[in-house]
Chain A
Amino acid sequence: MKTIPMALAAALFAATFAAHAQGGPNDAQIAAIVVTANQVDIDAGKLAESKAKHKDVKDFGRMMVKDHTGVNNSAKALVKKLHVTPEDNPTAESLKKGGQENVAHLKTLKGDAFDKAYIDHEVDYHQQVIDAMDKTLIPSAQNAELKALLVKVRPAFVAHLDHAKKLQAEYGK
């Protein structure tokens, strides 16, 4: 039952990205998507830092907070340098909403159930962000520096996905 909202959120996420892919988001919208995507994972990571049962899940949460804060700082610095004002858009909004729902759901869980739900979501989430980067964000970015930043931070999501999958093998599905 827990997987239903998650699958729905995933579908919604994919659908909004697909809808956007046709016109493609502009740079200001991409900036908002990147900042939101990182913030969503920071929020979930903070919760895991305090609520996770297993130490390696807690440590993973702490790393998500650290790494995504670092990525966001560099994104924010670039946006400032380029004088781009992040522009809200349906993709960023659905990311935010999905993140809030995930955190709300996680707050109702504890112990092994929390660890499993958190890690399962992290695997799905990082995979979705990577897909979005490859299919939409990187191809759509107009400014060369923004595109370069996306390319540079993409491996962060790949490393996190790999790490999350290892934890999932132990505590997840």
Chain B
Amino acid sequence: MRPCLPVPRAATLFVAAALALLVADAEAAGAVHTVTIDGFAFKPSTITVRQGDTIEWRNTDPVSHTATAKEAGLDSGEIPANGTYRFIARKKGRFAYICTLHPIMKGELVVE
């Protein structure tokens, strides 16, 4: 059955490629917003995005921070010094978020 082999493989490849495109599309569809972590603060402190948009946190501090709001499904884990974390806002609402390592760091994420 050798001649048959290329067919399912090609089909698999095709499906995989289509899926990859879809994923890429979904990500490309939303805008990308940046929040800078600078001097133990989220800047801007409130960020308003549309559902499906991507938010990128860029940590410019020499220490690790997190961006965490469980209700928003946001939990970056530790973002190291000079590291970034990307998150797609899927849930609408107004969410207060914090750095779990330094809870005096507070931000707000608004997803419309």
Residues of A within 8 A of B (CB): 63, 66-67, 70-71, 73-74, 151-156, 158-159, 162-163
How many A-B pairs have beta carbons closer than 8 Å: the answer is: 40
What's the Cα separation between A41 and B11 when bound, in Å? 61
Q: B102, A159: Cβ atoms under 8 Å?
A: yes
Q: B64, A159: Cβ atoms under 8 Å?
A: no
Question: Which residues of chain B are within 8 angstroms of A155 by Cβ–Cβ distance?
Answer: 39-41
- B102: nearest residue on chain A (CB-CB)? A159
Question: Which residues of chain B are within 8 angstroms of A151 by Cβ–Cβ distance?
Answer: 39
Q: How distant is A42 from chain B, measured CB to nearest CB, in Å?
A: 13
Q: A73, B39: Cβ atoms under 8 Å?
A: no
**What band does the interface of chain B fall in when counting residues whose beta carbon is under 8 Å from A?**
10 to 19
* Closest 6 pairs (CB-CB, A-B): A155-B40, A74-B62, A70-B63, A70-B62, A159-B102, A67-B63
What's the Cα separation between A158 and B105 when bound, in Å? 11
What's the Cα separation between A156 and B102 when bound, in Å? 9
What's the Cα separation between A154 and B102 when bound, in Å? 14
B4 CB-CB contact with A under 8 Å? no
29 A-B pairs in the complex with CB atoms less than 8 angstroms apart:
A66-B64, A67-B63, A67-B64, A70-B61, A70-B62, A70-B63, A70-B64, A71-B62, A71-B63, A73-B62, A73-B81, A74-B62, A152-B38, A152-B39, A152-B61, A152-B62, A153-B39, A153-B62, A154-B39, A155-B39, A155-B40, A155-B41, A156-B40, A159-B40, A159-B102, A159-B105, A163-B102, A163-B103, A163-B104
